[in-house]
Amino acid sequence: MTEITDKTGGSSLHPSGHEPPNVTDFLLALFGTPFLSVVLFVWLLMTPLLWFILIPVFAVWYGYLPWLLFGGPALWVTLKYMGPSPWTILSSLGANAFGTPIYYTVHHHLADKKTFPFGNSASTVADIMLWGIPFSFIWGTMFWLSYRHMSHQRTN
């Protein structure tokens, strides 16, 4: 007779039992995703419109620290419970929606009022958050693809 074995343990690409993600792959993907996105944008969008190419560069300038502070824990929890899946994109969008207003409000109250990047009202925080939506989507997608690729390479 043939035995039927149940492999509920899953693979490293889809961890089950709430296994933590690989720390090296996670950190490489987390820190490298914004810069990889800039390189791909500049390479793909080689247009004479220099301001259009510089938008991803300014996105890294204004969004990198909130990405690390809020996106990092959100992505870690998502990878722990869901594995490298499209849910990482949604958690990146959620980290932008909740983290950016908190970050820039705290930044505004701690820093000199004149150094606030785009002004000092709540509407400017909403504007920054809205500008961050496409980039949090791009960065979340790039994070998911790069982490998944590194995890796949590690298992092979």
Q: Is residue 4 part of a domain?
A: no
- Reported as a pLDDT band with limits 50, 70 and 90, residue 107 is confident
Structure confidence by residue, pLDDT tens digits, 58-103: 777 777 888 888 888 999 999 888 888 888 888 988 888 888 888 8
Burial class (CB in 10 A: 0-12, 13-18, 19+), 156: exposed
pTM of the model: 0.71
Whether residue 12 has pLDDT greater than 60? no
Q: Is residue 1 part of a domain?
A: no
The predicted pLDDT at position 17 comes to: 52
Q: Is residue 3 part of a domain?
A: no
State the residue range of the domain holding 113.
23-155
Q: Is residue 6 part of a domain?
A: no
Q: Is residue 12 part of a domain?
A: no
Q: Is residue 10 part of a domain?
A: no
Q: Is residue 77 part of a domain?
A: yes
Q: Is residue 82 part of a domain?
A: yes
Q: How far is CA 101 from CA 96, 104, 110, 130, 142, in A?
A: 8, 5, 14, 10, 23
Task: Report how many domains make up the chain.
Answer: 1
